[in-house]
Chains A and B, each alone.
Chain A
Amino acid sequence: QKEVEQNSGPLSVPEGAIASLNCTYSDRGSQSFFWYRQYSGKSPELIMSIYSNGDKEDGRFTAQLNKASQYVSLLIRDSQPSDSATYLCAVIGSGTYKYIFGTGTRLKVLA
């Protein structure tokens, strides 16, 4: 079992819709969770961090964390074609400070 799992996609959504990206992790002691956006040929760009159970909103983005289910998600409201990218989930596991990344989910927002 991979430590951080994401569906590789592509996930296709129409412009203006809500895109829902999901991530599960295996280390139950993980405390810190991050979402990065990566455009093709570019480096990862931090979107959000979340540390506590529940929802955290920032503009069109909402991160959701459920530690009991070992699940973190990212919702993108009013999706735009410019949101088309790969979204990487990163987790800091127990006893460490390094990120473990998922393989990323490719999102395509159709105009």
Chain B
Amino acid sequence: GAGVSQTPSNKVTEKGKYVELRCDPISGHTALYWYRQSLGQGPEFLIYFQGTGAADDSGLPNDRFFAVRPEGSVSTLKIQRTERGDSAVYLCASSLNFRGEKYFGPGTRLTVT
């Protein structure tokens, strides 16, 4: 079946702009996670959804970052007033439930100029 999909695959934006990154999880997976990965580092947790609600948003770096999952499937990560330090690969993962193995999408490479 189809895996996790993410759009866009690449996004270049200017400092101060607003961006939205989209994640479409594996069908039937109730848990959805956002991670951020910088070069040479392991993925860093941002936020986790179980169904429609954010079960843990402790990894969001500040209030410029926000994520939603209104219908319990597709999720959007929103970044306001982007900064150069936000440049990274943003990874989305989903699992059948919160205990399950997580499967990652291809990522969105965000570059803030």
A97 and B55 contact, CB distance less than 8 A? yes
B107 and A43 contact, CB distance less than 8 A? yes
Residue of B35, B99, B102, B107 near A46 (CB, 8 A) is B102
Interchain nearest-CB distance for B53 vs A (Å): 13
**CB within 8 Å for A103 and B40 given contacts A43-B105, A98-B56:** yes
A86 vs B59: C-alpha distance in the bound complex, in angstroms? 23
A77 vs B99: C-alpha distance in the bound complex, in angstroms? 29
Chain B interface size, under 10 / 10 to 19 / 20 to 34 / 35 or more: 20 to 34
Q: Which residues of B sit under 8 angstroms from A98, Cβ to Cβ?
A: 33, 45, 48, 56, 59
B99 and A44 contact, CB distance less than 8 A? no
A44 and B101 contact, CB distance less than 8 A? no
B103 and A46 contact, CB distance less than 8 A? yes
A32 vs B41: C-alpha distance in the bound complex, in angstroms? 21
Q: Which residues of A sit under 8 angstroms from B106, Cβ to Cβ?
A: 42-43
The answer, yes or no, to whether A25 is at the interface (CB within 8 Å) is no
The answer, yes or no, to whether A22 is at the interface (CB within 8 Å) is no
Interface size on A, residues (CB 8 A): 22
B45 and A100 contact, CB distance less than 8 A? yes
Shortest Cβ distance from A100 into B: residue: B45
**Most chain A beta-carbon neighbours within 10 Å: one of B42, B101, B103, B106:** B42
The answer, yes or no, to whether A57 is at the interface (CB within 8 Å) is no
Q: Which residues of A sit under 8 angstroms from B33, Cβ to Cβ?
A: 98-99
Shortest Cβ distance from A49 into B: residue: B101
A97 and B42 contact, CB distance less than 8 A? no
Shortest Cβ distance from A101 into B: residue: B42
The answer, yes or no, to whether B91 is at the interface (CB within 8 Å) is yes
Q: Could you list which residues of chain A lie within 8 angstroms of chain B, going by C-beta atoms?
A: 4, 8, 32, 34, 36, 42-46, 49, 88, 90, 96-104
For the A-B complex with A97-B31, A98-B56 known, give 19 more contacts whose Cβ atoms are closer than 8 Å: A4-B42, A8-B40, A34-B101, A42-B106, A43-B107, A44-B91, A45-B104, A46-B101, A46-B102, A46-B103, A88-B42, A90-B42, A96-B56, A97-B99, A99-B35, A101-B44, A103-B41, A104-B41, A104-B42
